[in-house]
Structure 1
């Protein structure tokens, strides 16, 4: 090879070397992912050979494969954490750069209460781990507005989060999705409550049951159906009527925005017992019922679920009684006759004695009876005094004028 050619080759080599990026440990450089392997990702940063981002330096959280963090052709900013030209080893870290940027962003997000999105990387004891440039932790109590028993299917989900607490020295970041959901719920609740009207009928979903009623979702907010509004009949526990997840029709009874309360009724959307009973019970019918309450003036008897009628004290027995307690007791089953049924006024008049045969009157002893044709002194005088009549010997009634008219004429 001629000397001229050697010079040319040397010049080309020097020119090529001048194009190679000069880097050293600690430098921050930008490159492009050229290959993704199980152990990491290869990056072209313009150096004489490609650099490697090991798996542990790709993400702040544990990952199983490099393709969970990067893909071929992606541009990345990395930090040089190791260089060995003799072995052509260039070790890079994406995590270090992400972490530095993340802490700055997290501080601003904490102050501004910003909402960020992050994917669940791990499900651990007590909550979820997300990658936000650093390792972020979402406690179990801050994932949803409701209790979640098992988070197994949350891995890979994208959550909308707010930063609750950061501590850079301890590499600690606490986030909450519940706060985001609570804020959205409150905003939605105000909007929905503003559109509710008393008497409005809606379809809802039973969310949870308590001793005193059921909470029903009516399109983004929960309203309470008190146990007294669950059915027309007596309800001991809401589970007797509904279960969680049931679709139900409810009527709006009361809206109290200042208390964040909506009162609902299930029974108001259904035909009442008075309407349905009016179709099956008619005046004159004899039906069975249960004595519910006793008062001084009578007894209230339930003849159908939610329908009570009054048996007035005069209609309890054929004989005279001073108080209903003499004859009846609460819980007693009785037969009653319907005397009057007014569903519009929710009033029923009932009778017990008309379902029973009247007792036979006992005949008086002979000596206590007064014969009809008795002409004897006292009885005749009483009749004469009261009726202004006298009895003749034949038992025929005659006026006083007829008997003494001629004698009375002398005094005229």
Structure 2
């Protein structure tokens, strides 16, 4: 999949990140992955006595709910109140009346709401990791929890609650982009890993997502090859979405980008050339990386591009990506020559580009080329 400035263009991955000799490349954050939607449950309200399925081994999500004196008018009024709480985001304290295989049953006036186990505060399971979720649920019966209404659907009798979201404003105000936290892997998915953050009080109140692209600088095909439930990790906060109550994390950004080592070898900070780890093209042809030759040939068809030449090549210590990537240097051109870097697997090739175009002109030309490359 080819990417230029976030657009899908072809079969080659093109990174438009710019870098100079004195700073790290500007990184584009990975596309936000959808958080798991575990809020599925049915609440049925009716006049009469109240019953609740509390079979801990049952996967049923149906909850029968009503108070002895609850008539249709009262329940209708309570559904309106639940919708108002859902819209405003206000928090209320609800008493835990029971639990089943999927979560807690919490009283909301004449209704019983459902709080799925993933919507409990992570501090509960992390505080006593030896206990099963059902054992934890049993200890909560009769207690009151701060919760938010996340879904109030009277027609389908769905009243979904969350303790995690109720506590989010309180604890997230002490978390900022760039903060580093110890964390515990809560669950691993195909698209990344959910991490519980351990705050200053020693408890885990918040959960964030490390996207698969932020797990390691090494090429990660399956997150489960790197992380497992319960693993202790260190993470850095890369984004906070207050509107959606989401925290985005990274593990790899706490380590040096291995590409920077390669850049320093290819383009030294003192602007000198040559490096023992790189091979100069002294008349010996360097075989272009797969797919690069086609791009360079097409690039020569662009107005303002006079010549392209693979000058040197080197090898990184580890594989970051198997995709072909192009990097454009911010280094001022020398005698009308700009520097491109091509990378695939461990191999890096330095390309001299003779052109009358400026940096923006080169990027636009490369974008047109990638649109034409099959």
TM surpasses 0.5: no
Greater helix fraction, Structure 1 or Structure 2: 1
Give the TM-score normalised by structure 2.
Answer: 0.37
